[in-house]
Structure 1
Amino acid sequence: HVLESLLGFDGDEFYFDSWAGLVGCTFLQITCRFDDAVPIGVKRASDSRIDINPPNDYVIQPGDQILCLAEDNDTYTVNDASFYQQINKDKLKVASLAIPMRGKEKLLFCGWRRDMADMIVQ
């Protein structure tokens, strides 16, 4: 049922698009820049390679296209980054606490809700 939903013409679909405002941002930063879509990869302008779940520190280059999962290609756009800015502020507060660090993990959120920030912080 999940594959049918992703690969069929009903429900959400995959879309490539580029946004000049995202050039210079890391992939981690752009994951918070869409309210109604989930960025899951990058098609690199340099060699047309498609990276699904690229490294968080990959920097978006001019001409790169972001692969997003969305309802339709005209139902999503880039937001003002206020969510990411709030996460960075919260990170600074948490960094001052003596918390043992765990090993690196990669998480891919499939789906998005406007209150996702509250759930992630907790």
Structure 2
Amino acid sequence: MSLLEKLVRKRRIWEDILGFENCEFYIKRWPQLDGMQFEDVLISFPDANPCGVKVASYGGKIVLNLEDSYILQEGDEVLVIAEDDDTYSPAALPMVKEASSKNIARPARKSQKILLCGWRRDIDDMIVVLDAFLAPGSELWMFNDVLEKEREKKLTDGGLDINRLVNIS
């Protein structure tokens, strides 16, 4: 690919990202959102994707990827990505119907045989996690280059107490 072709290709990529076709960035003040947490603002726009806030108390600084707990203040403006500036507006928060989970039966877990291939320095931690998630009677088989006696020493040195494993052998 020639230098000219590369430059043309890069230009097309930047035009796709920053151009005025499809969706663009818009920033607008929505007084009805004052006092709302940003996590609720995120789901308030069915036809746009909020991605930041122009924070009035920071001198109009735009902050992207806000904490969910940020509360919109008077004067704040919401930055969104939308198809056009007249195609979106905030709607009422969606209602979530609570369901009772009292009668949900968990399926019985079955023991499993796990083959762990290779060796990592934190393999002892992986074994502890497997022990916590697998059903009683499960087996852990190890396939690696570490000799058995050396393997036991490395696991013990890493903090693994094989006698404390409950669900796997």
Q: When the two structures are superposed, what TM-score results if normalisation uses the length of structure 1? A: 0.66
The answer for the alignment partner of 1:69 in structure 2 is 81
Alpha-carbon separation, structure 1, partners of 2:84 and 2:49: 12
Letter in 2 for 1:21: Q
What whole-Å deviation, never above 9, does each CA across 1:56-91 have from its counterpart, x for those lacking one? 00000001000000000000011111x2x31xx54x
Q: Which whole-Å CA distance do the structure 2 matches of 1:67 and 1:53 have between them?
A: 11
Residues 36-115 of structure 1 correspond to what in structure 2 (within 5 A)? 36-47=47-58, 48-81=60-93, 83=94, 85-86=95-96, 90=98
Alignment of 1:16 with 2:27, yes or no, is yes
| Residues 49 and 4 (structure 1), Cα distance of their counterparts in 2 relative to 1, 3 Å cut | same
Given that 1:5 and 1:12 are in contact with CA atoms closer than 8 Å, whether structure 2 keeps it comes out as: no
- Which whole-Å deviations, capped at 9, do the CAs of 1:27-70 have from their partners, x for residues lacking one? 00111100110000000011211111100000000010000000
Q: 1:56 to 1:3 in 2, by over 3 A?
A: farther
Give secondary structure in 1 for the equivalent of 2:57.
coil
Unaligned runs of 5+ in 1: 95-122
Name stretches of at least 5 consecutive residues in structure 2 with no aligned partner. 1-11, 102-169
The 1:51–1:19 alpha-carbon spacing in structure 2 relative to 1, beyond 3 Å, is same
Aligned partner (choices 4, 10, 16) of residue 5 of structure 1: 16
Taking only the aligned residue pairs, the percentage that are identical comes to 38
- Structure 1 runs of 4+ aligned residues shifted over 2 Å read 1-6
Give RMSD over aligned pairs. Answer: 2.2
* Post-superposition offset of 1:3: 5.3
Instruction: Report deviation, 1:5.
Output: 3.2
In 1, Cα distance between equivalents of 2:13 and 2:100: 38
> Aligned pairs, how many?
90
SS in 2 for 1:46: helix
